[in-house]
Structure 1
Amino acid sequence: MQALPLPHVNPGFPIDFIPLEGTRQDCEDCGKGEKLGFQFDYAYQPIVDLQRRAVFAHEALVRGPAGEGAMTVLSQVNDGNRYRFDQACRVKAIKGASELGIREPVSINFLPNAIYKPEVCIRTTLEAARIHHFPLDQIIFEVTEGERVQDGPWFASILREYKRCGFKTAIDDFGAGYAGMKLLSDFQPDIIKIDMDLIRNVDANRARQAIVRSLVSLCKDMDIQVVAEGIETPAERDFLRDAGIHLMQGYLFARPAFRSIAQVDASLFGARS
């Protein structure tokens, strides 16, 4: 398998990245959706920045080929196709964002249990970004805290390798899963996304308010950006803004747009701070 040529259009590529020789057959199938036996596509949901009153990024959310819910696709993923699916997701999300003309960062979910050697598996993303002229520092790889990863240090090493290559990293659904504070002690991502169950009715729940404020303070000390996800009401938005969170995602601002860019009404950003 030949090494990837150094890209000429994207200064964000790491010049010391050289794909390894003699890797397993799966690498040759990276990004080939037809090998999966099923089709899928993407919807994109904006993450907004209340301070800038603009879109901060777009999360790529897997959908069926006609816009069906994520579970219609994820239910078909198994141990036999997990690796190919993970690789195909990266290619399709980057390709779709490029074709839509998205200029902001794109956040792509990945499956840590589908990765066996990060410096090898990452080659598909590098090649997709090169082909579609998408800057590496505009790609965010996010993993849900709910993913059960048996080897915490190994998982942290994956995230470090992604960061080394120029990608940003995020932990999704923070506060709901298996990793929690232990993961933060092993690796500090660029972003954490607070789980929507902590956000729901946070404006009226003192316990959730205390947890959110603590997370904001912790992340500030660790230089980690915080995104609150699942915002549905102006009251939730206003409390979170007052608590120091200005990056938000949820139906209040925009629902995921299938194969398109969702438009955000500026009035939904609330009063200027």
Structure 2
Amino acid sequence: MACNGCTTSSKLDFEFSMAFQPIYDAVDDRVWGYEALVRGLAGEGAVEVLSRISPEQKYRFDQDCRIKAIELASRLFPADEELKLSINFMPNAVYEPAACLRATLLAARRCSFPTSSIMFEFTENEEVADTAHLTNIITEYRKHGFTTAIDDFGAGHAGLGLLVEFQPDLIKIDMLLVRGIDSSPARQAVVAGIVGIAEDLGITVLAEGIETEAEFVFLKERGIRLFQGYWFAKPAFEELPRVRIGSAPTISAVA
């Protein structure tokens, strides 16, 4: 079965690659996985790369990002480590979930990369007009063993309303709620509410944008397990960065 995007999407007229940023597991004290972040070949950030995409190229870009992330991860990830590869996707670029997954599944098979190691995250900052369609996407992805996540939770469209319609495996609390949380009662109250709801729904919580030890320690003591941010490591272009494990000195990413 083909979808509209497969036959009408324009090819990209530029090249790009990926940087990788670690996700830290505070309970097991190890790297849990890496998020693949789009970059220009000269290191241009995601905003600049995304600004070059026309509406006719959105589907092709979404597909090419998945393939590029899987190809790089298959070469970079240590074979003896169980690591998640987190890939951002655009819900509005998915026309027919099963058909739009073909390139992803083929890339994973070609690179011998297990689908159970792939997490797809979509951002609240992209407004989803059809939540039923998004639910269908999540359902289809789970059939193939993918983990699903909401990125930037609490800072974009819909917010808690999305959790009424469907429950992803993981939510990533936006950095605006994390920044300075150790000294902000308002942020503490909001995040406590999110953590409580997630626990009731069986959803794992990840705090992103951690920049200080105080933010990390506060959130860890409140029961959050997964973390991401400059405190642990900045994204590294086409390689796995060295990672600060907890408050220990910087060490290798998989030690």
- Normalising to structure 1: TM-score of the pair? 0.86
1:169 equivalent in structure 2 = 148
Contact 1:29/1:35 (8 A) holds in 2: no
2:12 equivalent in structure 1 = 36
Contact 2:26/2:246 (8 A) holds in 1: no
Q: How does 1:1-12 map to 2 (within 5 A)?
A: none
**Paired residue type of 2:53:** V
Aligned-residue CA RMSD in angstroms? 1.8
**Paired residue type of 1:200:** R
What whole-Å deviation, never above 9, does each CA across 1:125-178 have from its counterpart, x for those lacking one?
A: 100100001111100000001111111111121111111221100000000111
Contact 1:188/1:224 (8 A) holds in 2: yes
Partner Cα separation in structure 2 for residue 197 and residue 83 of structure 1: 29
Distance of aligned partners of 1:29 and 1:57 in 2 relative to their CA distance in 1, 3 Å threshold: farther
2:58 equivalent in structure 1 = 82
Q: 3-state SS of the aligned residue for 2:232?
A: coil
1:213 equivalent in structure 2 = 192
Deviates more, 1:67-76 or 1:41-50: 67-76
Contact 2:209/2:229 (8 A) holds in 1: yes
- 1:61 corresponds to 2:42: no
- 1:200 corresponds to 2:179: yes
Distance of aligned partners of 1:269 and 1:202 in 2 relative to their CA distance in 1, 3 Å threshold: farther
Contact 1:160/1:187 (8 A) holds in 2: no
1:239 equivalent in structure 2 = 218
Contact 1:118/1:158 (8 A) holds in 2: yes
Contact 1:53/1:269 (8 A) holds in 2: no
2:23 equivalent in structure 1 = 47
Q: How many residues align?
A: 246
Q: 3-state SS of the aligned residue for 1:221?
A: helix
Q: CA deviation at 1:25?
A: 7.3
Contact 1:119/1:161 (8 A) holds in 2: yes
Distance of aligned partners of 1:267 and 1:113 in 2 relative to their CA distance in 1, 3 Å threshold: closer
Unpaired stretches in structure 2, ≥5 consecutive residues: 250-255
Q: 3-state SS of the aligned residue for 2:49?
A: helix
1:4 equivalent in structure 2 = none
Q: 3-state SS of the aligned residue for 1:48?
A: strand
Q: CA deviation at 1:193?
A: 0.1
Partner Cα separation in structure 2 for residue 68 and residue 245 of structure 1: 32
Contact 1:46/1:59 (8 A) holds in 2: yes
- 1:157 corresponds to 2:136: yes
Partner Cα separation in structure 2 for residue 29 and residue 107 of structure 1: 27
Partner Cα separation in structure 2 for residue 141 and residue 269 of structure 1: 30
Q: 3-state SS of the aligned residue for 2:44?
A: coil
Partner Cα separation in structure 2 for residue 57 and residue 130 of structure 1: 20
- Normalising to structure 2: TM-score of the pair? 0.92
2:69 equivalent in structure 1 = 93
Instruction: Percent identity, please.
Output: 51
1:15 equivalent in structure 2 = none
Partner Cα separation in structure 2 for residue 153 and residue 26 of structure 1: 19
Q: Which has the higher Rg, Structure 1 or Structure 2?
A: 1
Contact 2:20/2:35 (8 A) holds in 1: yes
Within the candidate set 19, 32, 46, 1:70 is matched to: 46
Partner Cα separation in structure 2 for residue 217 and residue 44 of structure 1: 30
Higher strand share: 2
Unpaired stretches in structure 1, ≥5 consecutive residues: 1-19
- 1:266 corresponds to 2:240: no
1:147 equivalent in structure 2 = 126
What whole-Å deviation, never above 9, does each CA across 1:26-57 have from its counterpart, x for those lacking one?
A: 53799xxx930011000000000111110011
